[in-house]
Structure 1
Amino acid sequence: MAGAAREYVLTLDCAEGPGIVYAVSGFLAERGCDIVDIKQFGDRRGGHFYMRVHFEGPDGGAAEAGTAEGAAGAPAADDAVGRLRAEFEAVAARFGMEWALRPAAERTRVLVMVSKFGHCLNDLLFRARIGELPIEIVAVVSNHEDHRGLVEWHGIPYHCIPVTRETKPEAEAKLLSLVESTGAELVVLARYMQVLSDALATRMSGRVINIHHSFLPSFKGAKPYHQAWERGVKTVGATAHYVNAELDEGPIIAQQVIEVDHTHSPEDLVAVGRDAECKALSNAVRWHCEGRVILNGNRTVVLR
């Protein structure tokens, strides 16, 4: 992205009221910032306001990424974003905002989890490798050895952590240790076929995205394509959602559907559903990492 090292993304939500857009745009204008893109949503039913602003810093903004100092003594990137955050505190406090501000070029550190089905994993690895997703995959965790060769070919550490009913607490402790040691900001369950414990789901609320191979809230749990076939559906889908303590009940981020008909067997539905799963998951990961998704109770606001 041209100039990405000097561009930033601000996301916020707060109680709805007058003057929010004016205050945010005024803050940026006073500092010579240029708004590249702005999305907002006022939830009149819930009385809440959501905003995402992509903007360019003043006079070219921060130094080029990876350097301590820019041309003519321009401030380093960390200093520039730190200063903006410090100065925005007063605006945020005035409106009681929940907010985040980060460089637009910053890649989110992601830990991917997978079991035996590798299509979503392969899709994420490819999209990350070509720069289509703003992520750095720092590790892949699986309860099987099936995908070690693929992952290590990409130069990414692969960790096999088998899970049984008896070893689940130990396995989750190892997972949390990996999250901490790799600095992972997001965990993606790319067809990881183990249910996370309530304690782990609660601890990592808003930081775990799962792909479920059905158009939720229909056909939860195991073998959803077989459930769909038994009901004679004419559309199958996939749902990417945040994980919470209830199975397949977390806030939905993205969904994809594909038309089918009576000639499709359950195995055919599994095959055609793979594309929907990959697309829904990659969209959810991209939108989360670009700061486009804001939680709203058990729903999400996606500012695209």
Structure 2
Amino acid sequence: MLTETPPSQEEHVLTVDCVESPGIVHAISGFLFEHGCDILDIKQYGDKAQRHFFMRVHFSFGSSGSQTDAVATAPFTTEDLHRDFAPVAEQWQLNWQLEPQGRKRRVLVMVSKMGHCLNDLLYRTRTGELPVEIVAVVSNHRDQEGLVEWHGIPFFHVPVTKDTKPEAEARLLDIVDQFDVELVVLARYMQVLSDELSNRMAGRVINIHHSFLPSFKGAKPYHQAYERGVKTVGATAHYVNAELDEGPIISQQVIEVDHTYGPEDLVAVGRDAECAALRNAVRWHCEGRIVLLGNRTVVLR
């Protein structure tokens, strides 16, 4: 087991979005300069049609000794930065998030019988590739219980039927609260969440759909794709909302196939696409790279 590296208190990530207006970049970069910070990476995008601006800045406290007397010489804490940036955010009407670089989000994974996406997330979390801490796994079946327990993670079997769905979702919310969960990942969880739960956790639930949405929704999408003679197989990771498989798309993966692939071959190929799309979506969410804009996303990477 790799030793966990704590988030750096000298490196932070600031993500903002707001109505497009001249001077925003100057205001943010000026704030960072005044606080003795060096910009390590910056991504920005201005949506002309929506007149909306997006920016993600990864910065550190300067250590080159080139700071002026007006610039602080000691690193600020995260709390200091929040306090000092708040007036800037208010002036420019920013939606913003500022966190230490590398902070691990507390994630709950939900799964049914198929474990390939779960296994991929567990492995990449264990090796430190994903900036997450998987705090619990919930399933309506026991097929993946042994795998989860091998990783030393609490496993909760929560059966779901049409009649017991309200009780099952209440139990899920109890677990979310108990483990202080920040993100729920549906890793081939073959149950539809209620509208009430979807709305309550909007922007905090990511689903992997085993198809290249918006094509081939619902059951057996690979078999649907086979009947249409597709030449590519894809998978889509998206935020969950009250509309089935209609939530804002985060990540999509596609793999070329041809007429020699039968339905089961497409299913096998699709597993790789599903794993890739889901882990990218989880990584980008947890690194503060995603901003929701209506029913679509802007991914700053």
With the length of structure 1 as denominator, give the TM-score of the two structures. 0.92
Pairwise CA RMSD: 1.5
Other-structure match for 1:109: 106
- Residue of structure 2 aligned with 1:55, choices 42, 46, 59: 59
Which of 6, 13, 30 is the matching residue for 1:26?
30
For 2:122, what is the secondary structure of its paired residue? helix
In 1, Cα distance between equivalents of 2:33 and 2:155: 46
Richer in helix (by share): 1
Aligned counterpart in structure 2 of residue 274 of structure 1, from 271, 274, 277: 271
Q: Deviations over 1:105-141 (max 9, x none)?
A: 2100000000011000000000000000000000000
| Structure 1 residue 57, shift from structure 2 partner | 2.6
Structure 1 residues without counterparts, runs of 5 or longer: 61-73
Structure 2 counterparts to residues 56-71 of structure 1, below 5 A: 56-59=60-63
Structure 2 residue 166 is the aligned partner of structure 1 residue 169: yes
Residue 212 (structure 1) aligned to one of 209, 212, 221: 209
Map of 1:232-271 to 2, 5 A cutoff? 232-271=229-268
The runs of 5 or more residues in structure 2 that have no matched partner are 65-73
Q: Alpha-carbon deviation of 1:11? A: 0.4
Distance 2:191 2:7 in 1: 42
- 1:22 partner letter: H
TM-score computed with the length of structure 2 as normaliser: 0.93
Matched, 1:286 2:283: yes
Tell me, in whole angstroms, the C-alpha distance in 1 between the residues paired with 2:197 and 2:223: 29
| Other-structure match for 1:65 | none
Q: Counterpart of 1:128 in 2: which secondary structure?
A: helix
1:145–1:160: 8 Å Cα contact kept in structure 2? yes
Which residue among 83, 93, 96 is the counterpart of 1:96? 93
Cα displacement (A) at 1:6: 1.6
Q: Structure 2 vs 1, CA of residues 146 and 3 (structure 1 numbering), >3 Å: closer, same or farther? A: closer
Shift of residue 146, structure 1, vs aligned partner: 0.5
CA contact (8 A) 1:5 1:105 kept: no
C-alpha displacement of 1:2: 10
Percent identity, aligned pairs only, is: 71
Q: 1:237 touches 1:256 (CA, 8 Å); kept in 2? A: yes
1:170-209 matches, cutoff 5 A: 170-209=167-206
